[in-house]
Amino acid sequence: MTTPDQGNAGAAAPAAGHGHSQEGLLKLSVGAIGVVFGDIGTSPLYAFRETFAGHHPLDLDTPHIMGAISLMFWSMMLVVTLKYVSIIMKADNKGEGGSLALLALISRSVPSQRWSAGIVLLGVFATALFYGDSMITPAVSVLSAVEGLAVVNPAFGNLVVPLAVAILIFLFFIQRSGTSRVASLFGPIMMIYFISIATLGIMSILKHPDILWAINPLYALDFFLLTPLQAFLALGAVVLAVTGAEALYADMGHFGRKPIRLSWLWFVLPALMLNYMGQGSLLIREGASALQSPFYNLAPDAFRLPLVGIATLAAIIASQAVITGAFSVTQQAIQLGFMPRLRIAHTSASTAGQIYIPLMNWGLMIMVILLVLTFQTSSNLTAAYGIAVTGAMFIDNVLLTVVLFKLWKWPTWISVPLLAVFYLVDGAYLVANLTKIPDGGWFPLFIGLIVFTMLTTWAKGRKLMMDRLREAAMPIPVFIASASNSAVRVSGTAVFMTSTPDGVPHALLHNLKHNKVLHERVVLLTVKIADVPMVVSTARYEIEDLGRGFFRVILNYGFMEEADVPAALTQVSGCGQNFKMMETSFFLARQTLLPSARPGMRIWREKLFAWMLRNAESAMEFFRLPTNRVIELGSQVEI
């Protein structure tokens, strides 16, 4: 029943400021450390090891070690610091970030052009890739953390997979009760983690201070000159150091641009680089004996077991952030019309963003556990990791191109060189990761393709269905004139939910046909989802008096908001008496699809759309309608 309102910027006022002005910058920065940087923060567990011991191993000599660290440092500076933190985070949609938010911003701000459909498909595909990434991140993070037990004592090696599975099952089971109680601990725990890995890095650097020279980009250049093919293939592992960079943009709405920038530049980035340099110093000194896990071998024997505990907590927090992100992206996709309605539960009375989607939760849990049981080690999983991330990053470049030239209108002499660097770097990472497709890289692409097919099928099928309903709709003035004179009027209010703000709803026609009565007040209600995150209360509703007791009401919501129809109607004035739920009946239409003589989609996509329509959450629950005041009437539609 929701409709994306891509042209209704006027009805949607700017989003609220998320409370950033009331909260201290320091508190928000600590919160950002706990939520935003979990993914990129746990990369030291496996990124440096995989660069030398992964599917394309490198020689353990000083030039390769210095070159790999230099590549990691400049990747963080170009991809994370320059591209995401400095530029893309400026392209917020009323404070919100992420591929769908950026896509909605472009759709609203740039007039419809020939290439706009392609931009929409790219944005949707970036969202689809996110789901593949959200399955791999918990698996690889938790596995790599728990694998530290085998470093502490090889006898613990058989416990790694069962323990990782147990932790992941526990993590998904607690989602239903919400994480607001423990979320306040995320920031302090991640601060302890970053301080620990930075300290271990410094201790190792002091034993070989020359490793600090690795920030010189000439070492990265020498790496490519020394062994060009090996250096190129190594990019597939080096990019693991920047996985999670897109989370900085996606989570911007929760913390704001400034706290994330502050946390990254002054705390997270230094901690990560100190640890990577420490691992490099360790490998230069000890060689292959430390390669099993350079991260854990940095620690003295007495601190390794506590480090396993700290790293496991960090991995759990990183996984929690990805799961929460999957819930948030799913909610946005539903509101923007790319997904059918799903049951969404709010787990916090005070925080609107704390939601729980059962279907998404259990689906993710099954896939994550299957990944752990199939791949067994984090080293095997890293082959599947990276393609989804680099694919999404490359698509972000395309969206950024539109933003720079069409929205911000930057001068060509600035935009072109900047974009050339981003396309070159992200393109190289993407191509290098494509070499990992036979070793597991096919998995996120496979998941992404399935999700992309479902998202586009739902959007296309829904548009076709709305077009068919609109074609058959009777003009409202004609209906009112004829029905008002012939039907019996009864007391009370009837609200007819309709997806289109024109024509007569099918439920109204069916009700009149079978019951031959009209209520004294008839409200034709449409819920519109604007392409902004939130709508201020003064722009929540629009009313049109159609005469003879008929009213058209449009409720406007942002794509980050929950559509609570009864709560909104209690605030509506200007169409007679105030709404009283016990005197109001809600009429809903449930469509049944029939084969069409002029099909708008291939038959398999029609069947997929019909299956999704049958399994969508009912409008009654989705719009929080009172269960004892709802009447559902069926209709048949050809698409």
Please state at what angle helix 62-75 crosses helix 228-238, rounded to 10 degrees: 50
Question: How is residue 442 written in tokens?
Answer: 């096919």
Q: What is the pLDDT of residue 25?
A: 76
Long-range contacts made by residues 294-303, C-beta under 8 angstroms, separation at least 24? 294/48, 294/49, 295/44, 295/45, 295/46, 295/48, 295/49, 295/148, 295/197, 296/148, 296/151, 296/152, 297/151, 298/200, 298/201, 298/203, 298/204, 299/200
- Residue 74's nearest CA partner among 200, 242, 258 is 242
Task: Write the pLDDT tens digit of every residue in 288-347.
Answer: 888 888 999 998 888 888 999 999 999 998 888 888 888 888 888 887 788 888 887 776
User: Over the stretch 192-234, which tens digit does the pLDDT of each residue have?
Assistant: 999 999 999 999 999 999 999 999 999 999 988 888 888 888 8
pLDDT at position 30 is: 80
Residue 105 in this model has a pLDDT that exceeds 80: no
Which helix (H) or strand (E) element contains residue 37? none
What is the tens place of the pLDDT at every residue in 86-102? 888 887 777 677 777 77
Q: What is the pLDDT of residues 371-414, one digit of tens each?
A: 999 888 888 888 778 788 888 888 888 888 888 888 888 888 98
> For 487-615, where are the alpha helices, taking DSSP H only?
506-515, 565-569, 603-614
**Cα torsion at 322, 169, 379, 66 (round to 10°)?**
40
Matching residue, tokens 């230094």: 270
Nearest by Cα to 589 from 521, 519, 517, 513:
513
**Mean pLDDT of the 422-444 span:** 87
pLDDT tens digits along 446-481: 888 999 999 888 888 888 887 777 766 677 888 887
pLDDT exceeds cutoff 60 at 2: no
Mean pLDDT across the chain: 82
Angle in degrees, CA 98, 101, 105, rounded to 5: 135
The tokens 């070492």 sit on which residue? 219
Instruction: Please provide the CATH number assigned to the domain covering 22-441.
Output: 1.20.1740.10
pLDDT for position 282: 92
Q: Say if residue 146's pLDDT is above 50.
A: yes
pLDDT class of 597 with cuts at 50, 70, 90? low
* C-beta separation of 558 from 130 below 8 A: no
The whole-number pLDDT of residue 353 equals: 57
Non-local (6+) Cβ contacts of 228 within 8 A are: none
Phi and psi torsions of 529, nearest 5°: -105, 115
- The amino acid sitting at 142 is V
HSE at residue 161, side-chain half, CA atoms within 13 A, is: 12
Give residue-wise pLDDT tens across range 149-162. Answer: 888 888 888 888 99
pLDDT band (50, 70, 90) for residue 274: very high
| 433/149 Cα distance (integer angstroms) | 29
Residues of the chain within CATH 1.20.1740.10 domain(s) are 22-441
The encoded tokens of residue 317 equal 């927090």
Alpha helix stretches (DSSP H) within 83-115:
99-109
At 15 the pLDDT is 37
Q: Is the torsion defined by CA of 250, 251, 256, 259 positive or negative? A: negative
